[in-house]
Each structure stands twice: as structure tokens, then as C-alpha cells.
Amino acid sequence: MGSVKDSSEIPAAPVIRPRRLRGTPAMRRLVGETSLHARQLVLPAFIADGIDEPRPIASMPGVVQHTEDSLRREAAAAVKAGLGGIMLFGVPREEDKDAAGSCGARDDGILNRALSAVRAEVGDDLVVMADTCLDEFTDHGHCGVLRAGPHGETVVDNDRTLAAYDELAVAQAAAGAHVVSPSGMMDGQIASIRAALDAEGHQDVSILAYSAKYASAFYGPFREAVGSSLQGDRRTYQQDPANLRESLREVRLDLDEGADMVMVKPAMSYLDILRQTAEISDVPVAAYQVSGEYAMISAAAEKGWIDHDPAVMESLLSIRRAGADIVLTYWALLAARRLAEGWGGR
């Protein structure tokens, strides 16, 4: 017969039990610290010139290059789903590209036609955003106009590129964009574009600044999506992944130049940057869940290694938790559907 333990030997029951707040879905909803809503999501979308039907992007399962008709349907679906916005990228014909990316500013260029079509479809029911950069339109794939450097190397000419961005932004505003989004990381781009927009009567068009855009390895699938002609890399103008202080300096400069919103890109590998950006910004902060992040989750789910929809929703929640007011994600429509269903993963 075993001896009865002395009461002094029995561990005391814990008084503080954090698990009380995790016991039921209703309790978890009640005390959840971070929320995710469809209105906080922006859908990036591609439109290609010269195609008759949507063209799948192999490295981004479920994402396509749109025709004008399919893009209008996608924009209408975004309104119905309650999304906050749509970000448009144009994919011109190869023969329309040149060293200056001049087709980007043409009224009949693919992106400006798309902006007009989408704005006609959705009016003011969805925020229509334009990618304001030259990389899709140049035959060398860089985000600006090139020149010879002091040692014979080829470099992006910052100040000549600003003039091209001004023209691009004004054309996009005239085509119907509510928001222009300079993503080239040129010095002074926000002040230059703001002055150009205001001079042409577009004072009400907002600027979403890609303020902390890194020279990241996670952009690979995007280059297929836009048919990039990139030669070399963009490390002389996009940011070094090693640097944090540099990002905060870039954000402050863009705020001082009049940015209406600022962005961190990529999102998931730069949540520390996103958190500190949110702490210093007095305007809304966006984060872009980029193509490589999309492709990684998609590929792992296809292998059966992770559960796709819960992983997607967790990834979006992590970006919100780090401080993003706005999340650009190729899963915007999927996420909106899951949220409408009550998001069972919570």
C-alpha cells in the first residue's frame, strides 16, 4: 500500500492561466489583438497587350495576365468582395519597348488603357492604383533611363528618370488612377511627381510611395508576370537587404516630400522594417506580399507540405500584426472569401 503524499509535496495549481482566453472560438475572437478585413487588401493585377484570353503565369499558380475584358471582370469581383483596391501593371508588346520606356506614358499604352477601362467599370467603388515605374516598358528592364557612368559602366540616370516618372504619373492620373505608385526608388521621386500632378490639375490624386523597396530575391516570379527584359540587377537603386536605418531614412524623406501612403516591399521577410516604419509614419502604411512569397506558399501547398488557406491567412495576419494598414496580395480575393465565411482557422 503506497503512502499518501504530504500536501506540501503536491505542486500548487497555477493561479495565472492564460489559456482561459483561448478556450473557444468565440473567446479567441473576443480577445484577438489584430484584425484582418477585406477593405485592407489590394489586389495586384496584370494586363498584357496583344492577347485574346487570359494567359496563366507558370510560377504563380492561379494568377494570369489579363485581357481588358477579364481585367474588368476581376475589378468587378474585387468590388463585390469588398476589397480596398486594385493595383495595375501593364505588359506591353516586346516591339513597343524602348530604352526610355516611352510607351508607358502613351494614352494608348496598355497600362493607361487598362486604367481607363477599370475606372469605367468600378468608378469610385474601388481604389484604382497604378504602378508608376518604367521597368515593364524599357527594353533593358531597368526602372529608369540609362547613361554611361564615370568608368564606362551603365547606370540609371536619377534626374532624367524623374522627368519620365512625372510624365508617367500625369498620364496615369489622366487615365483614371486614384493613386499613382512610384516604385523605382529614385531620389526625389515623390516631390517631383507631386509637383507634376499638381501642375496638371491632379491635386486629388494620391501618391503611394514604395519607400522601402529592397533588392530582393523574392521578385523572381513577378519578372515572368510582367515579361521583364531585365539585364543585370537593381542593387544600385533598390535597398540592401542588410539595412534597416536606411529604410527609415527613405521613409522619412518620402513623408517630407508629401507621400500620402508609404510601402515596405517585400513584406514577410521584412516585418521588422514594417514594424519600425509603422512606428514613425503619420500616414497609412502598406506592405506588398510579393510574387516569391506567393509562389513559396503555393508550391509547398501543392506538395502537401502545408495547408494552403490557413497558411495564406496566417501570413496576411502576420503582415497586419507587424503594422501594415494595407496589404497588397495576390490572394486578396481568396482572403476576402475566407473572411466572409468566418475564417474557420481562427
Averaged pLDDT, groups of 10, the chain, 346 residues long: 61 88 92 96 96 94 96 98 98 91 94 98 98 92 85 86 97 98 95 98 98 90 64 80 96 98 97 98 97 95 97 98 98 98 74
Q: Biggest alpha carbon distance in the chain?
A: 95
- Four-CA torsion 132, 223, 309, 82, nearest 10 degrees: 20
Q: Is residue 19 part of a domain?
A: no
The CA–CA distances, whole Å, from 241 to 86, 94, 158, 327 equal 27, 31, 21, 20
Domain with 177, as residue range(s), is: 36-340
Q: Is residue 80 part of a domain?
A: yes
Q: Is residue 141 part of a domain?
A: yes
Q: Is residue 5 part of a domain?
A: no
Q: Is residue 258 part of a domain?
A: yes
Q: Is residue 135 part of a domain?
A: yes
Q: Is residue 87 part of a domain?
A: yes
Cβ–Cβ under 8 Å, residues 97 and 139:
yes
- Sorted by sequence, the CB contacts under 8 Å of residue 252 that are 6+ apart come out as 280
- pLDDT of 144: 87
**The pTM is what?**
0.93
- pLDDT of 8: 64
Q: Can you tell me which residue has the cell 480577445?
A: 31
265 is catalytic: yes
Q: In whole angstroms, give the CA distance from residue 76 to residue 118.
A: 9
What amino acid is encoded at 101 in this protein? G
Per the structure, the count of domains in the chain is: 1
Would you call 210 helix, strand, or coil by DSSP?
strand
- Four-CA torsion 91, 95, 99, 102, nearest 10 degrees: -60
Cβ–Cβ under 8 Å, residues 330 and 289:
yes
182 membership: H or E segment, kind and range: strand 179-182
Q: Is residue 118 part of a domain?
A: yes
- pLDDT of 7: 59
5 is catalytic: no
Of 5, 80, 213, 303, the active-site residue reads 213
CATH number at residue 153: 3.20.20.70
Cβ–Cβ under 8 Å, residues 87 and 330:
no
